[in-house]
Homo-oligomer: A and B are copies of this chain.
C-alpha cells in the first residue's frame, strides 16, 4: 500500500505553527466575529447605506487583513527567506484591519469602492508604522489600543478632505429606518458581547487578561446604563434616541481599552464607563451641528463621539494610572521626578505620536483620494442605492 502519511508532506514543507492550545483559536474567532459581524452591521443603520456598508466592510476587512499580513510578514517575521505566519499574526492583522472599518464610519457615502480599496493599504501601513515606532515605548496591548484614536482621527481627516465634493441633498441620505436600525443594534450587540475578548486579546499574563475582561465588562455595563438614561432624560417625552444606543453603549469599552489590565478596582472601570457614556451621549446630541456648520465636516456614523473622545479619555487615564503607579512604587521620588520619569514621558510621547500620525497620514490619504483618476466616468458613487439589488435569475422556461 503506497498511502502516505500527510505528516511527511508537512515535514517537507513545514509551516511553523507552535502548538498553543485551544485559547488562541477562540480568541482569533472572537476578533473575527467582532470585525465581520460587529463592525459590518454597526454602520448599517442609515437607510441608503445599509446593504453597501455590510458588503463593503467585509471587502475592506479582508483586503486589510491580507495587506497587514504581508506587511507584518516582511517586516517582522522574515527569516531565511521565509515568512512565518502564526495564528497570532492573523489575529493582529484582523485587529489592524479593524482600523479601516472604524474609519469607514466617517467616510461612508463620500467615497466609491475604488477609493476605499486604495485607502486600505495606506491606512494599514500608517497604523503599522505607528505601532512599530511606538513599540519602543509600549507593550503590544497598549500599543494596539491606540487603534481607536488613530483610526477615528484618520477617518475624520479623510472625510474632511473628501466632504467638500459632496452634492447637496445629503440630508435625505441620513435617514434611518427601523429594520436597518435593528441590524445596527445587532452589530452593536456583537461588539458589546465580544469587546472583552478584544481588549484582552494581546495580553499574555492570565491575571492581566482576567482583569481586562472584568474591567471592560464593567465599563460597558455602566456606559450602557448611562447612554440609555441620558438619552431618555434628554428627550422632552422621555424617548430613546437610536444613535445614542448604537454608539454610546460602546464608549465604555473604548475608554477602558488602554488601561483595562491596570485597573484594580471595579469602581474605577465603572467611573470610566460612566464618563465615557456621558461624553459620548453629549457628543451625539451636540457635536453634529457644530461639526457640520463650523468645520464643514460630516461624520456619517458618529465616529468622533464613539471612538475619538472615549479613546482620548482612555489615553489620559492610562497616563494618570501610570503616574500613580510610579509615585506609589517609588516613594522616594518627588513629584517633579515622577512627572519627568521615563515611563510617563514614553506614554505621553506615544499618545502624541498617535495623534500626529493619524492626522498627517489621514490628510495625505485624503489628498490622494481626491485625485480625479479614482473617479472616471465608469466609477460612480456607490450610494445610488437601487444599484445594489439586481434580479439574479431570469427564470424562464418553466
Q: Is there contact, CB below 8 Å, between A55 and B185?
A: yes
CA distance A85 to B90 in the complex (A): 33
Say how many copies of this protein the assembly contains: 3
Among A23, A59, A261, A289, the most chain B Cβ lie within 10 Å of the Cβ of A59
Q: Mark A147-182, 1 if CB is under 8 A from B, else 0.
A: 000000000000000011011101100111111111
Considering the complex, which residues of chain A in the window 1-16 have a beta carbon less than 8 Å from any beta carbon of chain B? Answer: 1-4, 6-10, 12-15
Interface string of A2-43 (1 = CB under 8 A from B): 111011111011110101011101100110110011001100
- Tell me, in angstroms, the Cα distance from A177 to B343 when the chains sit together: 56
Q: Is the CB of A342 within 8 A of B29?
A: no
> Could you tell me if A168 and B398 are in contact, using CB atoms closer than 8 angstroms?
yes
Question: Given A7-B207, A193-B37, are A379 and B238 also a contact pair (CB < 8 Å)?
Answer: yes
In the complex, A393 has a CB within 8 A of chain B: yes
In the complex, which residues of chain B have a beta carbon less than 8 angstroms from the beta carbon of A40?
Answer: 185, 189
A395–B210 CB distance below 8 A: no
CB atoms of A29 and B193 under 8 A apart: yes
* A10–B32 CA distance with the chains assembled, in angstroms: 30
Q: Tell me if A62 and B293 are in contact (CB < 8 A).
A: no
- Residues in chain B near residue A237, CB distance under 8 A: 378, 380, 387
Q: Does A330 contact B (CB under 8 A)?
A: yes
Chain B residues with CB under 8 A of A206: 19
**For A395, what are the chain B residues with a Cβ–Cβ distance below 8 Å?**
170-171, 174, 288, 292, 298
Contacts of A59 in B (CB 8 A): 224-225, 228
A311 within 8 A of B: no
> A129 an interface residue at 8 Å Cβ cutoff?
no
Q: Are B240 and A55 in contact (CB under 8 A)?
A: yes
Interface check A249, CB cutoff 8 A: yes
Stretch at the interface among A321-329, A348-356, A363-371: A321-329
Residues of B within 8 A of A29 (CB): 30, 193-194, 197
Q: Is the CB of A174 within 8 A of B393?
A: yes
Contact status B192-A36, CB under 8 Å: yes
Known: A239-B387, A326-B2. A245 touches B55 (CB 8 A): yes
**A26 CA / B194 CA spacing, docked (Å):** 11
For A249, the chain B residues whose CB sits under 8 A away are 58
Taking the nearest CB of chain B, how far is it from the CB of A118, in angstroms? 13
Asked if A113 is an interface residue, CB under 8 A from chain B, the answer is yes
Cβ of A2: which chain B residues have Cβ within 8 Å of it?
326, 330, 341-343
A75 adjacent to chain B (CB < 8 Å):
no
Chain B residues with CB below 8 A from A10, complex form: 207-208, 211, 264
Q: List 7 A-B contacts (CB under 8 A).
A: A4-B343, A62-B220, A87-B213, A167-B398, A171-B391, A292-B393, A298-B398
Given contact pairs A50-B178, A66-B221, A299-B393, enumerate 14 new A-B contacts (beta carbons under 8 Å). Answer: A3-B346, A9-B264, A17-B211, A21-B22, A33-B193, A37-B186, A37-B190, A40-B189, A51-B242, A54-B185, A58-B249, A242-B389, A288-B394, A288-B395
